[in-house]
Structure 1
Amino acid sequence: MKLFACGACGQMLHFENSSCLACGAPLGFRPDRLELATLDPLPAGGFRPIGGGGDDAWVFCANAASGGCNWLVPLGGDAYCPACGLNRTIPDLDIAGNAERWRAIETAKRRLIYALRRFGLPMTSQHEDAGQGLAFDFLADAGAEPVMTGHADGLVTINIAEADSAERERRRLELGEPYRTLLGHLRHEVGHYYWDLLVRDGGRLEAARAVFGDERADYAEALERHYATGPQPDWQSGFVSAYATMHPWEDFAETWTHYFHMVDTLDTAASFGLALDPQVTARDADSAGIAFDPYRAPDCRSLVDAWLPLTVALNSLNRSMGQPDLYPFVLSAPAIAKLGFVHDLVQPPA
């Protein structure tokens, strides 16, 4: 995620900010420009971006108060921004704790939608296209049957218990996962949506099968086998995660997720001007500079060559704080080839 600057005082701003912490100026994210704008209130209502951006007036998304949304919509246009407009169901906000959980989910979802729009990937709401649109259900457990996080025909369902840090950590340990986050869930489930859109419906099935395997394998049987016996012992030699071994669909979704982790983190590092030059080695493979836009990378290899040294540094910094590794994964050559397949889907060769 790139950084922004306050148009009134020059203070460094972050994607989630709704006001400048230095001068107090109101801020709003313009989805049409993918920019965090500093706002000047208009006498008749609404806002106009400071420092240009046209004469159009903007207002905040209808979820600004309840969902903490800082995205803008044109005055007189849709009530909900392009991120909130994808919601089909939100939790009952009158139940204690649900409002905080939902706000956390929406914060993660806005990062997801930002990335999808920055890549220019096709995306419509199911409100506009019931057949190929995207929608989100954020649900709480009720009764004996728990809500299962997943994807089906463009509908992404997230159990809002995942927004409770203690509960998410309990599930992470129970399932033996090294990493479990809201943003990771959202990236993974949307990966299934784009498998349908870009692979199945995009004429790439045979190419995907050559990389990930045959998705026609029985999914229910694969799921039962995975939880009964676990992944193969040498899974790291060919997959980005243990869960990716379960079925070709999950291999693709996990690889998609890791690709988005990689690009967004590299974009943040580039915004901070980070460069890596370890003082104990002269090996080129241990150094990295990010002199390119990760969202417009020339090839996947460029991303990987910057990503691997960065993860070593980030993991080392986390260990210095007594924290677990930020990126507790190993990328083998076959896993990198799978990342290359995803790269060519979202950043097709010129």
Structure 2
Amino acid sequence: MKLFQCQNCGQVLYFENTACLNCGFSLGYLPGEDRMAAVEADGPLWRAVAPQGQAEAETRRWRFCRNWELSACNWLVPAEDSQEADAYCTACQHNRTVPDLSDPDRHARWQRIEAAKRRLIYTLMRLGLPRPHPGTGDPEPLIFDFLDDGPNGDKKVMTGHDRGIVTLSLAEADDSAREKTRSEMGEAYRTLLGHFRHEIGHYYWDRLVREGGALEAFRAMFGDERADYTAALERHYRDGPPAGWENAYVSAYATMHPWEDWAETWAHYLHMVDTLETASTLRISVEPAIAGSGNLWTEIDFDPYAPRDAERLLSAWMPLTVALNMLNRSMGQRDLYPFSLPDQVQRKIAFVHDLVAGWRAAA
């Protein structure tokens, strides 16, 4: 994620900001223009204030997403795109089900889910991937259901994907509950954004692999997805991952079934491009001042959403993750990126990259 700037006062802004802490203007994200705008009310609508050095404000008018009133979105909708005062933005149009927000705790968890979802949608937009909304006539639109286990926990919600519908349990937005599950499951990594990236991977398997004519290439790289999924799931939780799995898979869960191997690899590809964009924005370079550290050197000075090939991403990613983990250890924290990327995993990441690049080139 890159940094933004207030066009009124020049203050550095973050993607989640709703007001400029320097000049006080309200802020809204313009997804079509990929920028944060300082806005002022103009009757029932909003307009962007005049940029620095200009006397006139922009003439276009906007509405805030309906979820802005619930402090759950800061995206803007062009006024001419909808006459409805309660219009949803392009990110929130994917929502089909949200929890009962009358309870403050559920409301707060949903807000955290929405923040992670907007980061996901930002990445999908930057990659140029298809994101059909419900009601567009697409046979498999992208839909989000955010569900609660219920007041007594008697209706267990499972996070997952099924034919375009991504379900996310509200419990995943509870940091203590999620950490407890992570520890019990023996997982090295578990985050809200990570869940989104994994589950959306299943959606894009349908789009890019099944519908994109890449099944045979996929099977050669990841294995045959026609293997019995239920049996694979039972075997994984009964026996655990096979010995030596670290040499070919990015995580233990990826060993369960080719679909999960793809989804875990996909999630890591999204981790890479988003984090590398942040590093590029900050002009981060890694150059250890020790002899023989050539393989730990990198200068991240390129757009990770449009590299020549996956090798450019991987050559920058490896030194950066070493640096991130070293910084975390200096703060007494566990590794921020507790994964390794052996050659076989790098080839899988390159496979994902090539499919995404191919889609974007053909679009």
Give the TM-score, by structure 1 length.
Answer: 0.96
Q: Which residue of 2 aligns with 1:46?
A: 46
Mapping for residues 223-302 of structure 1, pairs under 5 Å? 223-302=233-312
Decide whether the 8 Å contact of 2:285 with 2:298 is kept in 1.
yes
Decide whether the 8 Å contact of 1:42 with 1:48 is kept in 2.
no
Q: Which residue of 1 aligns with 2:14?
A: 14
Measured after TM superposition, the shift of residue 230 of structure 1 is 0.5
Structure 1 segments unaligned to the other structure (5+ residues): none
Cα distance in structure 2, aligned partners of 1:118 and 1:53: 27
Cα distance in structure 2, aligned partners of 1:208 and 1:20: 46
Cα distance in structure 1, aligned partners of 2:122 and 2:49: 19
SS state at 2:193 partner: helix
Mapping for residues 67-146 of structure 1, pairs under 5 Å? 67-75=71-79, 77-78=81-82, 79-129=87-137, 131-142=139-150, 144-146=154-156
Measured after TM superposition, the shift of residue 164 of structure 1 is 0.2
Measured after TM superposition, the shift of residue 129 of structure 1 is 3.3
Cα distance in structure 2, aligned partners of 1:19 and 1:167: 31
Superposed CA offset, 1:57-116 (max 9, x none): 012100002142000001253400011110000000013411000000000000000000
SS state at 1:347 partner: helix
**Identity over aligned pairs, percent:** 54
Q: Which residue of 2 aligns with 1:203?
A: 213
Cα distance in structure 1, aligned partners of 2:57 and 2:349: 37
Decide whether the 8 Å contact of 1:37 with 1:50 is kept in 2.
no
Cα distance in structure 2, aligned partners of 1:54 and 1:299: 39
Decide whether the 8 Å contact of 1:67 with 1:102 is kept in 2.
no
* Match status 1:186 vs 2:190: no
Cα distance in structure 2, aligned partners of 1:138 and 1:206: 34
* Match status 1:321 vs 2:307: no
Measured after TM superposition, the shift of residue 53 of structure 1 is 9.3
Cα distance in structure 1, aligned partners of 2:332 and 2:191: 19
SS state at 1:256 partner: helix
Cα distance in structure 2, aligned partners of 1:217 and 1:49: 57
Measured after TM superposition, the shift of residue 233 of structure 1 is 2.1
Question: Which amino acid is 2:34 matched to?
Answer: L
* Match status 1:58 vs 2:62: yes
Measured after TM superposition, the shift of residue 328 of structure 1 is 0.2
Cα distance in structure 2, aligned partners of 1:314 and 1:335: 20
Q: Which residue of 2 aligns with 1:309?
A: 319
Q: Which residue of 2 aligns with 1:25?
A: 25
Measured after TM superposition, the shift of residue 291 of structure 1 is 1.8
Measured after TM superposition, the shift of residue 152 of structure 1 is 0.2
Question: Which amino acid is 2:252 matched to?
Answer: A
Cα distance in structure 1, aligned partners of 2:96 and 2:43: 34
Of residues 219, 223, 228, the one that matches 1:213 is 223
SS state at 1:19 partner: coil
Indicate the RMSD between aligned Cα atoms, in angstroms.
1.6
Question: Which amino acid is 1:347 matched to?
Answer: A
Question: Which amino acid is 1:217 matched to?
Answer: A
- Go from structure 1 to structure 2 and tell me whether the alpha carbon gap of 1:116 and 1:53 turns closer, same or farther (over 3 Å shift): farther
Q: Which residue of 2 aligns with 1:158?
A: 168
Superposed CA offset, 1:312-331 (max 9, x none): 11001111111111000000
Structure 2 segments unaligned to the other structure (5+ residues): none
Measured after TM superposition, the shift of residue 26 of structure 1 is 1.5
Measured after TM superposition, the shift of residue 130 of structure 1 is 5.5
Question: Which amino acid is 2:350 matched to?
Answer: G
Cα distance in structure 2, aligned partners of 1:141 and 1:43: 41
Decide whether the 8 Å contact of 1:231 with 1:242 is kept in 2.
yes
How many residues are treated as equivalent by the alignment? 350
Decide whether the 8 Å contact of 2:47 with 2:58 is kept in 1.
no
Superposed CA offset, 1:236-290 (max 9, x none): 1000111000000000000000000011000000101111110013433110011
Give the TM-score, by structure 2 length.
Answer: 0.93
Question: Which amino acid is 1:60 matched to?
Answer: F
Measured after TM superposition, the shift of residue 127 of structure 1 is 2.9
Cα distance in structure 2, aligned partners of 1:207 and 1:336: 16
Measured after TM superposition, the shift of residue 55 of structure 1 is 2.4
Measured after TM superposition, the shift of residue 49 of structure 1 is 5.1
Question: Which amino acid is 1:164 matched to?
Answer: D
- Go from structure 1 to structure 2 and tell me whether the alpha carbon gap of 1:235 and 1:339 turns closer, same or farther (over 3 Å shift): same
